[in-house]
């Protein structure tokens, strides 16, 4: 009898333990219905590194395996999972790759407020060759041209092969970017000798008017900048709306008069003077 009583007690204890585990896993039951566990899980969402968080790319000896280094969220708890790089649809001479990961870093309570470096790998269907690798969107662009293997070279804002500094349209575009010219800028005039450059340019303002050509839709502003050739492109050194050579040669006596003597002042409508004077109060 004692042996049967002992087995019964052990069986009852096991059943109680199982019941406790089940209740702990499923929450507790109140008033005939089950309640949610007290802890609320943080949402993990799909993310992608920005252009400045893409640090580098290396290519393997097979010229197909690419390892990409990126900054990802970091904290006291796990902050990243499913980090991967995937090929997307090729465009022209480029090989686009999208890097993604899942993270709760959008919620600061996750503690994922710092960053760390991580790597992910992708295999190209064929050797990279002279094509450009574009990671993310807007993309960080890499090329094997001029690189030190296994690293790929990160290209600049002017592309992987920027135009040589000179009196050419692509070189003038570099000069406009150097001074932060607005979108849709038009070059009105360029005076250049290969070492010095003056650019007049303008850009449309006002409402978007489609193909209309009335005065309101044709309004624009303009500017004039002076440049000197540098090792990596045109470098701006002066800006004025005045004509002639006096102002620019006061700033840079070596600027050639042949490039500035014929300059007319910019029209006030293109380069308005927004300065104001404050009158003294009447006694």
pLDDT in tens, 175-203: 999 999 998 899 999 999 999 999 999 99
- 3-class DSSP assignment, residue 49: coil
- Give yes or no for a contact between 135 and 71, defined as CB atoms under 8 angstroms apart: no
**Angle, alpha carbons 148-61-137 (nearest 5°):** 65
- Give yes or no for a contact between 235 and 214, defined as CB atoms under 8 angstroms apart: no
- 3-class DSSP assignment, residue 257: helix
Q: Which residues pair with 97 in a beta bridge?
A: 135
In whole angstroms, what is the distance from residue 196 CA to residue 22 CA? 81
What was the pLDDT predicted at 210?
Answer: 52
In whole angstroms, what is the distance from residue 126 CA to residue 110 CA? 41
Which has the closest alpha carbon to 229: 265, 259, 187, 271? Answer: 259
- Give yes or no for a contact between 134 and 95, defined as CB atoms under 8 angstroms apart: yes
In whole angstroms, what is the distance from residue 235 CA to residue 253 CA? 16
pLDDT in tens, 76-135: 999 999 999 999 998 889 999 999 999 999 998 999 999 999 999 999 999 999 999 999
Tokens describing residue 9: 């007690």
| pTM exceeds 0.85 | no
What was the pLDDT predicted at 83?
Answer: 98
- Give yes or no for a contact between 273 and 242, defined as CB atoms under 8 angstroms apart: no
């Amino acid at each position: 009898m004692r042996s049967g009583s002992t087995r019964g007690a052990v069986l009852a204890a096991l059943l109680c333990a199982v019941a406790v585990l089940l209740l702990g896993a499923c929450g507790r039951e109140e008033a005939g219905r089950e309640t949610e566990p007290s802890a609320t899980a943080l949402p993990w969402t799909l993310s992608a590194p920005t252009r400045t968080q893409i640090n580098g790319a290396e290519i393997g000896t097979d010229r197909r395996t690419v390892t990409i280094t990126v900054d990802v969220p970091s904290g006291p708890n796990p902050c990243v999972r499913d980090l991967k790089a995937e090929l997307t649809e090729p465009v022209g001479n480029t090989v686009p790759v999208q890097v993604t990961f899942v993270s709760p870093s959008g919620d600061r309570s996750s503690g994922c407020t710092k960053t760390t470096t991580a790597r992910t790998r992708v295999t190209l269907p064929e050797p990279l060759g002279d094509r450009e690798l574009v990671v993310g969107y807007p993309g960080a662009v890499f090329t094997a041209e001029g690189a030190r293997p296994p690293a790929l070279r990160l290209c600049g804002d002017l592309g992987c092969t920027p135009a040589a500094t000179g009196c050419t349209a692509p070189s003038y575009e570099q000069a406009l970017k150097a001074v932060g010219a607005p979108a849709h800028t038009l070059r009105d005039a360029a005076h250049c000798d290969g070492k010095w450059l003056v650019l007049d340019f303008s850009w449309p303002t006002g409402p978007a008017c489609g193909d209309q050509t009335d005065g309101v839709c044709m309004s624009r502003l303009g500017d004039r900048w002076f440049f000197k050739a540098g090792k990596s492109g045109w470098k701006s050194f002066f800006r004025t709306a005045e004509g002639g050579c006096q102002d620019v040669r006061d700033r840079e006596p070596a600027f050639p008069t042949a490039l500035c003597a014929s300059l007319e002042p910019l029209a006030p409508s293109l380069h308005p003077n927004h300065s104001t004077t404050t009158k003294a109060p009447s006694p």
